[in-house]
Structure 1
Amino acid sequence: MRILTVHNYYQQPGGEEQIWSTESALLESYGHEVLRYTLDNHDIKGMNPLLLAKNTVWNSRAYRDLRSLIRDQKPQIAHFHNTFPLISPSAYHAVKDEGIPVVKTLHNYRLLCPNALFFREGKVCEDCLGKPFPLPGIIHACYRGSKYNSAMVATTMSLHSLLGTWTQVVDVFIAYSKFAMDKFVEGGIPAEKLAFKTNFLHPAPQPGEGKGGYGVFVGRLSVEKGLGVMLDAWRQLGGKVPLKIVGDGPMRGLVTEAIKEMPEIEWMGRIPLEQVYEVMGNAAFFVFPSEWYETFGRVAIEAFAKGTPVVASNIGAISELIDHERTGLLFNPSDPTDLAAKINWLLANPDALSKMRQEVRAEFEAKYTAADNYKRLMEIYESALSQKISDGCLIKIAN
């Protein structure tokens, strides 16, 4: 199969880039030809704001380039990841106008929320969910703290809802959790267009031994990721267990200040994936304190692959990933006291922690391998190609 993949790089690389790259490599490993159409948000620097606003809503050049690419290379299907903001939703129309099935992976809530997170002022916010025009997102300057930029995003959302981009142009949306599927249906995406598929790792790392005696956090240093909650929990733990923090982001200053107060915390910054896996595998447990509705949580299955139990917020899709007291522990979201209590329980129950290490690796091998994921992805592609996505025909793939 010849597959066109479309992705708009972010200025700060993250999970979406990893998923797009890994999935493309997986398809190639099975003999498919993968065509990549990409733009990079680093090109925004110095761009005229009016041109950027126009391209965010409808990029005519991307529309023409994609139609030309399809006519020249003749892919059988197109799989979209991110199009925001440079590629724009015009790309979906370009593919559809060439008669190619359109598959879109839902990495975040960009279609329903101006900041894509359902998170505002330190808490979950659904004020724009289901609204024809997301005015609250503009009023509260939800995108990058700017009413102008928020209006640009809100206009894009509303215009493409009116154009039927999400209901008529995209053939299949891939969601990584049942929680996310429900939110998108609530926001107006037809249920029959939603397909469930888990995430995966390729190649899968070997499990570690967990003998490092520390907790680890890997992710963006930002408020929605629960960084403040985790640091408050460590204050309550009073130096009982070291913490390694891997990643970077706007809250790096909070981390550096916390280290002055709590020397048991080590900030490692951005490190290569191989080193991330090593740190994960040696950790006693992984901390996943997110406060927003994660659509999946790839870092959790990375921890599973390394045999490292996960202590996670009981919110959104994370609740589906963690089997409480078997593959980890769930704590009340945004509650540092409960997080500290769960970590204290793990420290006091080494036998339970050791058993969890076996369970999480078994969970990974049962649900998140590349071979199983490839099979599921092919089911979705074949369904789109055969145009069998119809009323009442929801692709259900067991979690």
Structure 2
Amino acid sequence: MKVLVVHNFYQQAGGEDSVFRAEVALLEGYGHDVRTFTVSNDMIAQTPRLQAAAQTLHNRQMAREITRQVRGHGSQIVHFHNTFPILSPAVYAGARAGGAAVVQTLHNYRLMCANGLFFRDGHVCEDCLGQLPLPAVRHRCYRDSAAASAVVAAMQVTHRAAGTYRNGVDAYIALTEFARDKFIAGGLPAGRIAVKPNFLAGGPGPGTGEGGYALYVGRLSPEKGVDTLLRAWAHLGDTLPLKIVGDGPLAPQVTQAAATLPGVTWLGQQDRAGVLELMQNAAFLVLPSEWYEGFPMTLIEAWGVGLPVLGSHLGALGALIEPGQTGMLFRAGNADDLAAQVRWLRGHPEERKQMGTGAFQLSQTLYSPERNHEQLMEIYAAALKRFGAARGSPAPV
């Protein structure tokens, strides 16, 4: 199959970027004819502000470029990962004009929420879900700017009214059932949204888990629950050391915590090999997120090395983590409950080991490259069938 995989690299979108690369490698590994087309938000710095705003709504130049790429490659499928902000939703029409079916992976909630997170002022916010996104402008949800938020809101309203999201995409990929339900509530056609999780390729296998520490890996930002994490360890003291990997706007708070709280160590950014080694030796991973996580790669990587996960009982995490089988859950934003679950895990090493075994087995069955490729081919087939029916011709094979 000939597939054009398209991605708009975006600041702090590390998870999306790694999934894009992994899926390209997966398709190539199974012998598909793959071409990639990428842009970076670095281009915005060279673009006048009004022009950048107009292109966010509808970038005609990028639509024409996608048409050219499809025709030059003979692509049957164009698989978009992120189109915001440079590519714009105009690229869907560009792909179809070239003769290809359109697939869009929904890594975040940007089509329904200006900041893509359903998170505002330290809590979950669904004020714009299924509604005109006026609250997003009022609360300056995108980049803390009313003007920038208005541009994103205008993009959403314009393309909803034009039917772009409903008619311009042949198949959507949601990462979890929880996310799928939110997209349906936001107006996307239910029959066109398939669920396909992220996957782990090339993991090092189970570790020992005997390093004697808990581990956090992720962006240091409010929606990730970093403040709750630090407050919990203020209660725990040196009961169990905590190693923190990552960077972000809350780095100063983490730096202070590492200097003042016994047992807390900040390791900064680490490469994937370093993260996996830390995971192999950790007692468990902590995912204290306070937004509706998509499907964190850190979760799959942890399970892929047999590491149980202590996560917040919120959104998809509450459904993905099975307490006592692959990890434990605590009440999101509740530092006392997080500390209590940490104490329990520390005091039950045999149960931790069993959870790690269950997590590894799950990763090998549900989140393997082989299973992911099967799911992806089913989605591509459905997209081709719908595209062929819309054109009044048989789907290409």
Q: In which range does the TM-score fall when normalised by the shorter chain?
A: over 0.9
| Structure 1 contact 236–340 (Cα < 8 Å) conserved | yes
Q: Does 1:125 align with 2:152?
A: no
Cα separation, 2, equivalents of 1:45 and 1:233? 40
| Cross-structure match for 1:180 | 179
| Cross-structure match for 1:395 | none
| Cross-structure match for 1:164 | 163
Cα separation, 1, equivalents of 2:46 and 2:255? 31
| Cross-structure match for 1:89 | 89
Equivalent AA in structure 1 for residue 10 of structure 2: Y
Equivalent AA in structure 2 for residue 92 of structure 1: Y
| Cross-structure match for 2:32 | 32
Q: Helix, strand or coil: the match of 1:386? A: helix
| Structure 2 contact 101–387 (Cα < 8 Å) conserved | no
Q: Does 1:108 align with 2:108?
A: yes
Which string of whole-angstrom CA distances, capped at 9 and with x for unpartnered residues, describes residues 297-353 of structure 1?
A: 221111001111100001111112100111110100111110000000011111111
Cα separation, 2, equivalents of 1:122 and 1:324? 26
| Cross-structure match for 2:4 | 4
Q: Helix, strand or coil: the match of 2:155? A: helix
Equivalent AA in structure 2 for residue 237 of structure 1: L
RMSD, aligned α-carbons: 1.3
Residues 133-212 of structure 1 mapped to structure 2, 5 A cutoff: 133-212=132-211
Cα separation, 2, equivalents of 1:387 and 1:117? 30
Cα separation, 1, equivalents of 2:350 and 2:206? 18
Deviation at 1:11, TM superposition (A): 2.7
Cα separation, 2, equivalents of 1:24 and 1:370? 12
| Cross-structure match for 1:41 | 41
Which string of whole-angstrom CA distances, capped at 9 and with x for unpartnered residues, describes residues 352-375 of structure 1?
A: 112112111111112110011101
Cα separation, 1, equivalents of 2:236 and 2:93? 53
Q: Does 1:378 align with 2:386?
A: no
| Structure 2 contact 194–379 (Cα < 8 Å) conserved | yes
Select between 228-237 and 92-101 the one with higher mean Cα deviation.
92-101
Cα separation, 2, equivalents of 1:246 and 1:45? 29
Residues 353-364 of structure 1 mapped to structure 2, 5 A cutoff: 353-364=352-363
| Structure 2 contact 309–326 (Cα < 8 Å) conserved | yes
Cα separation, 2, equivalents of 1:256 and 1:389? 56
Cα separation, 1, equivalents of 2:72 and 2:34? 14
**What fraction of aligned residue pairs are identical, expressed as a percent?**
46
Cα separation, 1, equivalents of 2:388 and 2:246? 40
Change (3 A) 1:155 1:298: same
Deviation at 1:270, TM superposition (A): 1.2
Q: Does 1:266 align with 2:265?
A: yes
| Cross-structure match for 1:325 | 324
Residues 214-229 of structure 1 mapped to structure 2, 5 A cutoff: 214-229=213-228
Select between 67-76 and 100-109 the one with higher mean Cα deviation.
67-76
Provide structure 1 residue ranges, at least 5 long, that are not aligned to the other structure: 391-399
Task: Compute the TM-score of the two structures, normalised by the length of structure 2.
Answer: 0.96
Q: Helix, strand or coil: the match of 1:174? A: strand
Cα separation, 1, equivalents of 2:203 and 2:367? 9
Cα separation, 2, equivalents of 1:86 and 1:263? 45
Deviation at 1:13, TM superposition (A): 4.7
Cα separation, 2, equivalents of 1:372 and 1:268? 34
Cα separation, 1, equivalents of 2:240 and 2:214? 7
Cα separation, 2, equivalents of 1:207 and 1:310? 14
* Count, aligned residues: 389
Deviation at 1:46, TM superposition (A): 4.2
Q: Does 1:311 align with 2:310?
A: yes
Q: Helix, strand or coil: the match of 1:45? A: helix
Cα separation, 1, equivalents of 2:75 and 2:176? 28
Equivalent AA in structure 1 for residue 24 of structure 2: S
| Structure 2 contact 3–77 (Cα < 8 Å) conserved | yes
| Cross-structure match for 2:394 | none
> After TM superposition, where is structure 1 displaced by more than 3 Å over at least 4 residues in a row?
none
Equivalent AA in structure 2 for residue 204 of structure 1: G
Provide structure 2 residue ranges, at least 5 long, that are not aligned to the other structure: 390-397
| Structure 1 contact 192–389 (Cα < 8 Å) conserved | no
